[in-house]
Amino acid sequence: MHIREFQKLISDRYEKTDRERGAPKTFMWFIEEVGELSTALAGNDKGNQSEEFADVLAWLCTLANISDIDLETAIEKYTTKRVEGFKPK
């Protein structure tokens, strides 16, 4: 599945409700999922980590959908080797 296909799947299932909730509240849900991923990464349960990665990706797609951003287009800066502003450590 391509990123655009997954983003559309999320849109088809949830976008009406997500738009009604709005970006600020949806962002709070996204951050909650990032926190759950952080907790999962501190442990050794690969199943839980996998689930939390999926949740973060789904909520990121939700935010992109209600912001009218096509993530597949957005990541072209990485896929076309045009990354700008790289800051080496």
Is residue 40, in this structure, part of any structural domain at all?
yes
How would residue 87 be classed by pLDDT, with cut points 50, 70 and 90? low
pLDDT at 83: 64
Which of 65-68's residues contact partners 24+ apart within 8 Å by CB, and which partners?
65/7, 65/10, 65/11, 65/15, 65/18, 66/15, 66/18, 66/19, 66/22, 66/23, 66/26, 67/23
Domain of 61, CATH number, reads: 1.10.287.1080
Is residue 83, in this structure, part of any structural domain at all?
no
Is residue 45, in this structure, part of any structural domain at all?
yes
Interval 20-63: pLDDT, tens? 999 999 999 999 999 999 999 999 999 999 999 999 999 999 99
Q: Which domain holds residue 61?
A: 23-76
pLDDT at 88: 57
